[in-house]
Structure 1
Amino acid sequence: MMTVLFSRIKSTLFLLFLPCFCSGQPAPPLLRFSIFLDPSNMVYLRWDHDKQELMMFELQVLTTGWVAFGFSPHGELPGSDIVIGGVFPNGSIYFSDCHVADETTLEEDESQDYQLLSVTENKTSTTMLFKRHLRTCDPNDLDITVDTVRLIAAFGTDDTVQFFKGQRFSKSLFLMRYRGEPSGDLCVFLFQFAVPAEETKYACTFIPLPMVKQKHHIYKFEPVITPHNITLVHHILVYACGNASVIPNGIDDCYGANPDFALCSQVLVGWAVGGESYQFPDEAAVSIGTPWDPQYIRLEIHYSNFDLLPGLIDSSGVRIYYTPELRKYDVGVLQTGIFPFPVHFIPPGAKSYRSYGLCNSSQFDEMNGMLVPDLHVFAYLLHTHLSGRGVKAAQYRNGEQLRIICEDNKYDFRLQEIRDMKEILIIKPGDEILVECNFQTLDRSGITFGGPSTMNEMCLTFLFYYPRNNISSCMGYPDILYIAHVLKQEASDAVEAMMAMDFVDWDNDTVKIAEKAAKEADQVVMIKAINVSPPSEKFVGGEMDLALMFQE
């Protein structure tokens, strides 16, 4: 039985174990997921999880000193849950489950809930393999949930553990993934663009899909970002264009003077900051090659050039993999949430402000042109801009909440990715979907309005489902005139109501009054089908009391 001497001191931590001599090394585990945790590719993480609520990690670091890995509540050190390990020069190993008490103090947990499987060292690197339960019931351990997690990795050059002096990195990551990635055929869609010296730019172009002679399925896609522009590209969306669309030439502003560059509303695939490649499930993929499928796509890239740098050239896009080996179903994407503009707003100075967007699917059959089959939702993508702190979507039937569809209560703008559902979720026509976004604007002195700029806001959830129908989006927004009147502002229409928001004396009380009014207000629901403009508009007259939503 090994013993450990642990010294609790500030800035330096000493761990000591009795020697462990092993006759051989176990075979490396088959861990499905992996990523580098630092920009220089010195810290490599592999991980996986099983049905027994256990998660296994393998941390490989380019050092022969101590290594550390853990979880932070919000990205800062105090309150972090850390494991530290390594191999002494004499071959003995050390490993301990710790927590950061404050900015200068690291303490060992009374309950050691991380199980070390192996720690090895070669001439250049140290590899530590360990596992833990998703929930350990130790107050010093952070739960691993379906929320975004903030990871911390650190290391030193020798085995004197000085956690607060070593190299340290943090990264937001979604751990609860459910599939790996096979290989396949590919086709690359890229375009070159001179990015203007503007804070926000939406650039669009239209590209033909592969001219296949029979039906194929797009089963995977991945971003192709020009390396030096990684901080410039905010998101990439690929929209399907119906065969009746009038396709313009060249590259132009997506939402500028030429409305043709805003054609095609059905999202096929999407990527945003922090995302990676995505593979569709074995039973469904995106169809191309039939008379009912798109022949063109609209490629939309949102650039955020905050520093107004001139002379930037970008060649980003997506790589799409397709195959004649067909899945059983065709994939569709439903965009839900708050209709982005013109009436979405968030007050300044708010520690927490929740906005709501309602989708009432009772009109789906009419908009689709035929009966809409049940939607089998298998994945989702959450999206806000910089002030977003949480996103949640719930499903209702006959006014009763059935379930939370998806949520991330620690949402990070820098990590926007498609995430698989643990189980397939069924949405029936007539169900309602309510999306709630939590915003924080403590750093803003003026109102944040909904809009396309990164400094504007959005509150969206993209639901990936099968079998495909013709509905592209179903979003709602509250009656802004009602909110203005509750705030004691004079207004006769929505435009005056939005202008009146600038005259509100915003403080904690008025922020809460506005939030409550937005919950109580009737919602207008906007439903749009592929290539239909303008969208169908459905007024929901108080069918649901939003103040009672999201029952836990």
Structure 2
Amino acid sequence: MQSNPSVSLQHPNFNHFIGVKMHLKLLVFFLLTTHVSGYKETRILQNREQLDSEGKVFLGWEFDSETNVITFEMEVETTEWVGLGISLSGSMTGADIFIAGVKPDLSTYSNDYFAEGFTQPKIDTHSDWKLIQGVEQDGKTVIKFSRLINSCDEEDYPIGDDTTRLIWAYGDTDEIKYHTPNRRGTKSVKLIGAPTPELDLNGLQKFEMVLDMEVPPMETTYWCGYFKGPTLLSKHHVVAFDALIEGLTSITHTHHFILTNCYLRADSDKSLDELMSNYTVESGYLGGHCRDPNPPIVLPREVHCDQDLFVLAKGGKMMTFPENVGYPIGQESYYMLEIHFDNPEELTGIPARSGVAVYYTNETREHDAGLLAVGHKTGAVISIPPNAEDYVVVGHCGPACTSWGIEEAEGVTMFNILLHSHISECTYNTKWNDGKVVIGGLSTKEEMCITYIWHYPKQDMELCESTYPELLHAIDFGVTDFHTEPTLTGNVIYIDEPAYMRGPYPETINNFNNWTDQFIAQYQHQQILAT
């Protein structure tokens, strides 16, 4: 989401590590040390990201598509060791780690590590990270290094064009040992892809929608708050969205959010102001659980808030529209902000301030933009076999849908795409899950497979998804009776028969004992054809 002797680069909830003194055995070419008084003047790397909340840790990077080499430059407010890791989930397990630093005599040290679990990582037998340069200057350590995006080393995590989850840490001495919580962190970043287009914010208007609250003490929370937008007398165009996620706890616990338009049913004889003004954050109502089966407050039935407008997941940046495209807004407008909070330890009293800034202008552009969600419907029919390495889930948007929802004569131009899943991606690997099935759902430990497509000109169709019939899915696993029960995170399937699988589906599906290669191949084939 992006060479060291013995270090623990930890996810913020990883709490133990026994420090070990550094024992370096440097090869001759590493002993060609650089005695410098200042950092070499080099070309500024194309991308730059602040990794921490205090402005002490920065990472620059640039990818060379001809050599398949990605070059990093890490700048940290320390005069001791610094480390960067690439991780599947943002934790230590399976992380590919690079540690480097500058010794008192101005020589550099570095090493390549692999973390097998929440323990001291081991030195990788193949050193694929390459230290280019390192220096201490003005109380900071700057390390420049590189790596092939795919080294073909089983202990190196390949870097692709999806979101990469980075872990980072730094020390308070050159002895590599346990690092305190304020000297480590995680960040999801898109390392390979087009840089964010520049946008001159001067002359643009802006409004913000922010939920300032405590994260509920639940592993997974989907929280919805409502906001009133600016009152406009004519059509305007939104030209950029930016995330407002303030503070380390907000960064840690905000998994993603979706901003949606609220609109009236065609048969309503009232205005949005009349129906929505008492339900907004501005009026003092903070919102509630999005899927609460017994919500304390129910929106008027004439109001719908299901028209996706902006989606941001960890690692996302400001989204800017092409110069000839904008999203149309005007007159009265109301919005719903749905935030997925991730709190695996179910901690209490965690402050979070998360939301979105919307930049807009009265200088309308040539094309109106639209957002289309395409994929597989999220739910238990996404059931990924245990220990799978390349299990594929397919969502179809067929001709019957596109012929209705897209004007065939003009077609559409796509200019921004967000691929959204949780850990396993849409070609799934479940080896991280201890031999258990990974199912579709809203939790970070569950999966979804959705693609959000920004396009122009704006079309009528906003959602196009497919799914495998629930009844056929039950038959595949020999389930003869089941029912659903509502929860704060949506409906949960409960198996009633057969008896050996009785209970909540996310747990009892692991009792299924026929995960043969033949069954998996047939099951996947049927799902692809039937969705």
Q: Same fold (TM over 0.5)?
A: yes
**Aligned-pair CA distance for 1:211:** 1.4
Residues 391-431 of structure 1 deviation map (CA, whole Å, 9 limit, x = unaligned): 22xxxxxxxxxxxxxx6x67xxxxxxxxxxxxxxxxxxxxx
Secondary structure at 2:424's aligned position in 1?
strand
Change (3 A) 1:74 1:472: closer
Matching of residue 33 in structure 1 with residue 47 in structure 2: yes
Is the contact between residue 202 and residue 301 of structure 1 (CA under 8 Å) also seen in structure 2? yes
**Aligned-pair CA distance for 1:67:** 2.9
Q: Aligned residue for 2:12? A: none
Secondary structure at 1:485's aligned position in 2?
helix
Is the contact between residue 190 and residue 315 of structure 1 (CA under 8 Å) also seen in structure 2? no
Distance (whole Å) between structure 2 residues aligned to residue 312 and residue 82 of structure 1: 29
Q: Aligned residue for 1:300? A: 338
Q: Aligned residue for 2:199? A: 182
Is the contact between residue 482 and residue 493 of structure 2 (CA under 8 Å) also seen in structure 1? no
Residue 456 of structure 2, aligned match among 446, 466, 476 = 466
Q: Aligned residue for 2:307? A: 266
Is the contact between residue 43 and residue 60 of structure 1 (CA under 8 Å) also seen in structure 2? yes
Change (3 A) 1:315 1:175: closer
Is the contact between residue 218 and residue 288 of structure 1 (CA under 8 Å) also seen in structure 2? no
Distance (whole Å) between structure 2 residues aligned to residue 373 and residue 62 of structure 1: 53
Is the contact between residue 21 and residue 176 of structure 2 (CA under 8 Å) also seen in structure 1? yes
Distance (whole Å) between structure 2 residues aligned to residue 197 and residue 25 of structure 1: 46
Secondary structure at 1:340's aligned position in 2?
coil
Q: Aligned residue for 2:524? A: 519
Distance (whole Å) between structure 2 residues aligned to residue 158 and residue 195 of structure 1: 35
Partner amino acid for 2:310?
V
Partner amino acid for 1:190?
M
Q: Aligned residue for 1:537? A: none
Distance (whole Å) between structure 2 residues aligned to residue 114 and residue 212 of structure 1: 58
Change (3 A) 1:113 1:262: same
Q: Aligned residue for 1:12? A: 22
Q: Aligned residue for 1:400? A: none
**Aligned-pair CA distance for 1:126:** 1.0
Is the contact between residue 222 and residue 320 of structure 1 (CA under 8 Å) also seen in structure 2? no
Secondary structure at 1:484's aligned position in 2?
helix
Distance (whole Å) between structure 2 residues aligned to residue 187 and residue 371 of structure 1: 35
Distance (whole Å) between structure 1 residues aligned to residue 375 and residue 92 of structure 2: 34
Matching of residue 239 in structure 1 with residue 260 in structure 2: yes
Residues 35-65 of structure 1 deviation map (CA, whole Å, 9 limit, x = unaligned): 3444555432122223433322111122222
Change (3 A) 1:460 1:64: same
Is the contact between residue 62 and residue 124 of structure 1 (CA under 8 Å) also seen in structure 2? yes
Partner amino acid for 1:221?
D
Partner amino acid for 1:467?
P
Give the 5 Å matches for 1:110-149.
114=130, 116=132, 118-136=133-151, 141-149=156-164
Structure with the largest fraction of strand: 1
Distance (whole Å) between structure 2 residues aligned to residue 333 and residue 217 of structure 1: 13
Residue 507 of structure 1, aligned match among 511, 515, 520 = 511
Residue 323 of structure 1, aligned match among 356, 361, 364 = 361
Distance (whole Å) between structure 2 residues aligned to residue 449 and residue 66 of structure 1: 40
Distance (whole Å) between structure 2 residues aligned to residue 515 and residue 38 of structure 1: 43
Secondary structure at 2:524's aligned position in 1?
helix
Secondary structure at 2:395's aligned position in 1?
strand
Residue 279 of structure 1, aligned match among 319, 328, 334 = 319
- Give the root-mean-square deviation of aligned CA atoms: 4.7
Distance (whole Å) between structure 1 residues aligned to residue 21 and residue 317 of structure 2: 39
Residues 526-550 of structure 1 deviation map (CA, whole Å, 9 limit, x = unaligned): xxxxxxxxxxxxxxxxxx377xxxx
Is the contact between residue 468 and residue 530 of structure 2 (CA under 8 Å) also seen in structure 1? no
Distance (whole Å) between structure 2 residues aligned to residue 360 and residue 108 of structure 1: 44
Change (3 A) 1:71 1:224: closer
**Aligned-pair CA distance for 1:275:** 4.1
Secondary structure at 1:71's aligned position in 2?
strand
Residue 358 of structure 1, aligned match among 362, 375, 395 = 395
Matching of residue 475 in structure 1 with residue 465 in structure 2: yes
Secondary structure at 1:187's aligned position in 2?
strand
Q: Aligned residue for 2:61? A: 47
Seq. identity, %: 23
**Aligned-pair CA distance for 1:179:** 1.2
Residues 447-504 of structure 1 deviation map (CA, whole Å, 9 limit, x = unaligned): 9876667787644332333332111111122122223233334359999x96546635
Q: Aligned residue for 2:244? A: 223
Normalising by structure 1, what TM-score?
0.66
Change (3 A) 1:38 1:189: closer
Is the contact between residue 286 and residue 330 of structure 1 (CA under 8 Å) also seen in structure 2? yes
Is the contact between residue 70 and residue 148 of structure 2 (CA under 8 Å) also seen in structure 1? yes
Give the 5 Å matches for 1:60-79.
60-72=75-87
Question: Please, which moves more after superposition, 213-222 or 103-112?
Answer: 103-112
Q: Aligned residue for 2:16? A: none
Q: Aligned residue for 1:526? A: none
Secondary structure at 1:360's aligned position in 2?
coil
**Aligned-pair CA distance for 1:287:** 1.9
Residues 60-113 of structure 1 deviation map (CA, whole Å, 9 limit, x = unaligned): 12222233334356666687544443333333x224453348755754766666
Distance (whole Å) between structure 1 residues aligned to residue 98 and residue 474 of structure 2: 52
Distance (whole Å) between structure 2 residues aligned to residue 339 and residue 296 of structure 1: 26
Change (3 A) 1:502 1:333: farther
Residues 143-166 of structure 1 deviation map (CA, whole Å, 9 limit, x = unaligned): 32224434343444444xx44556
* Unpaired runs of at least 5, structure 1: 1-5, 393-406, 411-437, 524-543, 547-552
Residue 208 of structure 1, aligned match among 206, 225, 229 = 229
Is the contact between residue 84 and residue 98 of structure 1 (CA under 8 Å) also seen in structure 2? yes
